[in-house]
Amino acid sequence: MDAAVAAIFHRRGGQDGSPRITVRLRRAGWRIGKNTVAASMRRQALVARPARRRRNTTRPGKGRWRAPDHLQRRFAAPAPDVCWCADGTEIPTGEGQLYLAAVSDLFSRRI
C-alpha cells in the first residue's frame, strides 16, 4: 500500500495530499480511507506542495481610486518628453518582496 501511495504521489509531482490520493486509489479498486493514506504519507515523509495562489493586483471596482487616463488609450506620442508611461510589479524572492518600477517615454521608448 505504501508503494501505491508513493507512486501516485510522485506521478503527480507531489501536488496531491491524502484526500486526492485516496480518491485515485479508490478509482483503482482499493478499499482505503483518507486517514490510512495520511498515515502512509507520514511514514514515508511525503508532504504535498501547497498550490500557489495567483494574486490579482489589478482590480478596478466601485469605490476604488483610479488614476485618470490622460492618454485615452492613444499610445503614439507626437514628440519626445510629451507622454510618459509607468508600471510596477512585485517579484517574490527568498528574502521577501522585490518591487520593480519602470517609467518609459512613449516616443523614444527610453526607460
Give the model confidence (pLDDT) of 63-104 as tens digits: 667 777 777 877 788 888 888 888 888 898 889 899 999 988
In the chain, helix, strand, coil percent, each to 5? 25, 20, 55
In which element (H, E) is residue 104 found? strand 96-105
For the segment 3-19, the average pLDDT, to the nearest whole number, is 92
pLDDT at residue 57, rounded to an integer: 67
Within a 10 A sphere around the Cβ of 68, how many other Cβ atoms? 6
- Extents of the domains making up the chain: 2-43, 69-111
Q: How many residues does the chain have?
A: 111
Whether pTM exceeds 0.75 = no
